[in-house]
Amino acid sequence: MDYKKIEELIGRIEAAESELYRELAGETKTITCDFAEEYIPLWTYIRRGNPKYALSAPIIYAMIVPALVMDASVTVYQATCFPLYGIPKVARGDYIVFDRHRLSYLNALQKLNCVYCAYFNGLIAYVREIASKTEQFWCPIRHSRRIRGPHRRYWHFLRYGDGKDLKRRWMKMRETLRDEEKQ
């Protein structure tokens, strides 16, 4: 296994992601919208909606309860444990972003749904970052088989089955994690 090649590929992926964000940031300069044509009043939106969607709403919105419990749990976990491990805390506001509700072309229900999705998806990203830092601290070893959608830290983890000089490399992974706060 060529570790230099892997590091090079990771660098290219990170560079491509940075380029993607720069490109997407530029798209807001070209957005035009005739808000009068796009806005659908709330009652029209509800009347035209699919009744099956309305039936699913209580199930969707009930998911807020476990989400709030998870949010509180991981926030308390990192506030308690990360200082003990010397791990920099994850900034919740970097992941949970509320802004789409300010779009004037959305009606009240669309805005509520945007707030819900922003919270839920942001929460998942926030939890994932906390979990990935925890994994890097306690078990930075890749799996034996391919996994879908690994977190951004995963490719830096130790190769499955490679126990050579494990303790030294594991401690190096912890130091890398602790040094993130200094960057």
pLDDT category at 150 given cuts 50, 70, 90 is: very high
- pLDDT of residue 44 exceeding 90: no
- pLDDT of residue 30 exceeding 70: no
For residues 25 and 161, the model is more confident at: 161
pLDDT of residue 61: 95
**Whether residues 15 and 49 fall in one domain:** no
**Whether residues 17 and 74 fall in one domain:** no
- pLDDT of residue 26 exceeding 60: yes
Residue 90 in contact with residue 182, Cβ under 8 Å? no
Q: Helix 64-85 and helix 51-62: axis angle, to 10°?
A: 30
**Whether residues 40 and 59 fall in one domain:** yes
CA–CA gap between residue 141 and residue 98 (Å, rounded): 35
For residues 31 and 7, the model is more confident at: 7
**Whether residues 119 and 46 fall in one domain:** yes
Q: Which of 38-47, 61-70, 91-100, 169-178 has the lowest mean pLDDT?
A: 38-47
**Whether residues 76 and 126 fall in one domain:** yes
pLDDT category at 125 given cuts 50, 70, 90 is: very high
- How high does pLDDT run on average in the chain? 90
pLDDT of residue 154: 93
**Whether residues 9 and 75 fall in one domain:** no
What's the number of domains the chain is made of?
2
pLDDT above 90 covers a percentage of the chain that reads 63
pTM for the model: 0.83
**Whether residues 14 and 56 fall in one domain:** no
SS3 of residue 4 by DSSP: helix
Domain hosting 153: range is 33-182
pLDDT of residue 160: 92
pLDDT of residue 101: 87
**Whether residues 25 and 62 fall in one domain:** no
Virtual CA dihedral for 131, 14, 2, 165, nearest 10 degrees?
-30
SS3 of residue 183 by DSSP: coil
- Please give the angle made by the CA atoms of 127, 182 and 162, to the nearest 5 degrees: 65
pLDDT above 70 covers a percentage of the chain that reads 93
**Mean pLDDT in residue range 144-153:** 94
